[in-house]
Amino acid sequence: MGVRGIDTAYNYSRFTSHRRLAAVAADLLSQFTVSTKVGFFPDDHAAGQVGHSLEPMRLRQAIERSADDLGRTPDVVFLHNPERTLSTIPTSAGGNTLVAACAVLADAVTTGLCSAWGIASWDPSPLAELDSIVDPKPDVLMLRAGLSLNEPMFKTCEHVSRVFGVPPERRWGMSPFGSEGQHAAWQSANLDVFVPGQRASVHQAAFRLAFELPPAARIAVGTSKSGHLADLVDASGLTVDPAMVRRYRSLIAAPAKQ
């Protein structure tokens, strides 16, 4: 089909996603790059609930268990939505908290628990507001991408990428349809101007544009239908008009008329 990577997380499927993957596709996992994420844990105070933590020991244990449950070393382990914790503590303490968490993931690479590490953030605004330099820096960033982003979020994603020194070839995008792939807006949109002279559905054009808004090397999507994945794989070969992408960016950056 052309799909080369599987992205999952420690907490997906009620903390069973790694074991389920190993159970149904153990003989196939070696043919894919596998990325996962750590940061969400069962809530210690509310049964059945999920909480977020950047506590180094919990992160380390989650990384170790992820590798064990998958039966292989993940290619990338992401720190999962660190803003969930950072938004609850003073900005002055956020830098040290994030540095300690990042050090755990960097050490996981050094000790062979994963091949690379990164940060996956739904809302990187708290990362952009940190008043200290974060080091070690991630190998990869996964941020939202596509037409659903407004200009402030575009700027935030680009700023965070610069601060962490992650170039486009090491950026991953996610949620290219804004978690609303079946929203009526997608059914009525016409994106032909971005992919002139090519046959493409709205979803295919939107997916291809996500690689440009902002620039990214990979886009993570979720679906339960293999046909949807096949369509998106085909869309990755579309040629986008860069002039129209620049025009789009300038339009959404323009001040709203009163």
Tell me, what CATH number does 85's domain have?
Answer: 3.20.20.100
**Contact assessment for residue 39 and residue 54, using Cβ atoms and an 8 Å cutoff:** yes
Residue 182 pLDDT > 70, yes or no?
no
pLDDT over 70 percentage in the chain: 93
pLDDT digits (tens, 9 = 90+) for 156-180: 999 999 999 999 999 999 999 876 6
Angle of CA points 227, 206, 79, to nearest 5°:
85
Which pTM was predicted? 0.93
User: Is 211 inside any structural domain?
Assistant: no
User: Is 44 inside any structural domain?
Assistant: yes
User: Is 181 inside any structural domain?
Assistant: no
pLDDT over 90 percentage in the chain: 77
User: Is 208 inside any structural domain?
Assistant: no
Residue 189 banded pLDDT, cuts 50, 70, 90: confident
pLDDT value of residue 133: 75
User: Is 104 inside any structural domain?
Assistant: yes
pLDDT value of residue 223: 77
Q: Can you list the positions of beta strands (E) in 81-132?
A: 116-121
154-169 as b/e, with b when 16 or more CB fall inside 10 Å? bebbeebbeebebeee
pLDDT digits (tens, 9 = 90+) for 196-211: 999 999 999 999 999 9
Residue 227 banded pLDDT, cuts 50, 70, 90: confident
User: Is 92 inside any structural domain?
Assistant: yes
Of the candidates 188, 216, 218, the one whose C-alpha atom is nearest the C-alpha of residue 203 is 188
Residues in the chain: 258
End-to-end CA distance of the chain: 49
Q: Cα 245 to chain center, whole Å?
A: 21
pLDDT value of residue 114: 98
> Where does residue 81 fall: left (phi above 0), alpha (psi -120 to 50 degrees), or beta otherwise?
left
Number of structural domains, the chain?
1
User: Is 133 inside any structural domain?
Assistant: yes
Domain range for residue 134? Answer: 5-138
